[in-house]
Chains A and B, each alone.
Chain A
Amino acid sequence: MSTKIFLFSTLFCASLHFSGARAQRNADEPINNAGMFSLGIRNTLSLFNSHEAASFGAGGHFRIQLSDRVNTEWFADFIKSSTQDLGRTDYHIGWSVMYYVLNPAKTKIVQPYIEAGHCFDYTQLRITSNNLSKDRWSSAMQMGIGVHFNISPRFDITLKSQYMLHLGGHLHAHKDSIGVFEISEHEGFKAEGHLLNTISLNYKIGRIWKR
């Protein structure tokens, strides 16, 4: 069902874009501004998790744009999932650098970009039947693609997909010989990742500095 809500949201955004929403924007007003500070809220759907359950999360971020082509995003969110046996919560706090692949002067309404970044991750894994849980801190890096739909000069809806690769120790739940779940913590490096699909609404507050 979380997939459905995400798809519905995507369709809603697309319908906004292809409706008359674009007409509100003054074509002469620049969108990309170095020093622009934005605030946003986000929902995230995480797929291909190691425990085979889709996760759903919410959070927020701010952006500081460095140049017409380069933007940065500083985010914090938490993502939850549950199966019949396990519950998992991931807390992310990190940053990404976004690069606009098309000339911003010519792509004021739809702005595709690529991004890469790093985050810190705190994970709690819990066995529902006996309420036992374990947690761990780790680090992760992420990269992906996205697109801004600039509904007005100051407001945009952003869709993006990024693959987040967790680095370091990880938690793993498995059944023992008598069929009881237990959680083990594995030290050392093991690449463990998931695909994060995010929809966010963003508003440009103003410039921190002028170019």
Chain B
Amino acid sequence: MTALGLVLITSFSGLTQSNEYQQFDRTQMFSANASFTPGYLFRQNTFQYYLQGTFYYFLSPQISIQGDAAFSFRQTNIQGFVPLKYHSGFLGACYHFTENGNLDPYLGFQAGFSYLERTYSTNIVFPSTTTLAEVIPTSSILGGLNFYVNRYFNIFVNMRYVYGQPSKSIQEPDGLHEIRFAFGLGFNLAKWQKN
């Protein structure tokens, strides 16, 4: 926590030192972050937790390519067809509403694949479990806000809807609907634009 505070203080001091520069150039900027991401599965009425890594690269000031990888922490509750593992990867693009400035709201769309593992009870009289594992297609619609502290750091918050379609369902005839929320500190490499 102290380290995070030092990083933020350093970052804000960097912002004040950049008076000779109006803002940085987002084109070709590369950024990456990692976060602890909780998700809520609607049908299963349960929370899922992920370690998520994200990168994005600006093709132009308002268009970026974004990729995400989320590693799910194993669930211990096997009731109600809750996923034990739900690792996912996404690739897509985002539209950024501002061309420059420190605040960067955006919307995006991504396609991807997930590894889904679910366990369910198969017999009530003689309790036993069966595990179903499969790779499923997924899709994600995301929106968020970046605050670029300086050319090296940003603070981000985002929310995404994730849809996954399994084919090995016993109790769930439909797909997996989930909302994921992430926030944290990101790292970026950008050019400054001189006044």
Contact = CB atoms under 8 A, between A and B. Distances in A.
B186 interface: no
Given A56-B175, A152-B59, A80 B95 contact: no
B169 A79 contact: no
Interface string A57-93: 1111000000000000000011111111001110000
A82 B176 CA distance: 12
Interface residues of B, number: 35
B139 A43 contact: yes
B165 A87 contact: no
Contacts of A155: 59-60, 63, 93
B141 interface: yes
B168 A126 contact: yes
A82 B168 contact: yes
Given A1-B175, A42-B111, A43-B137, A80 B63 contact: no
A58 B174 contact: no
A5 B139 contact: yes
B136 A82 contact: no
A165 interface: no
Given A5-B139, A155-B63, A203-B65, A126 B107 contact: no
B167 A1 contact: no
Contacts of A1: 163, 174-175, 177
B137 to A, nearest CB: 4
A88 B93 CA distance: 29
B63 A151 contact: yes
B113 A9 contact: no
Given A12-B109, A21-B95, A201-B93, A56 B165 contact: yes
The listed residue with most A CB atoms (<10 A of its CB), out of B59, B63, B139, B174, is B139
A2 B166 CA distance: 12
Interface residues of A, number: 42
A163 to B, nearest CB: 20
Interface in B75-128: 91-93, 95, 97, 107, 109-113
A55 interface: yes
B161 interface: yes
Given A82-B166, A87-B168, A24 B92 contact: no
A24 B170 contact: no
A165 to B, nearest CB: 22
Given A80-B166, A88-B167, A41 B62 contact: no
B52 interface: no
Interface string A147-182: 000011011010000000000000000000000000
Interface in B26-64: 59-63
B92 A12 contact: no
A157 B94 CA distance: 11
Return the 9 tightest CB-CB contacts between A and B, nearest first: A58-B137, A87-B167, A56-B165, A80-B167, A82-B169, A41-B111, A43-B139, A58-B111, A43-B111
Interface of A: 1-2, 5, 8-9, 12-13, 16, 19, 21, 24, 41-43, 55-60, 77-84, 87-89, 126, 128-129, 151-152, 154-155, 157, 199, 201, 203
Interface of B: 59-63, 65, 91-93, 95, 97, 107, 109-113, 136-139, 141, 161, 163, 165-170, 172-175, 177
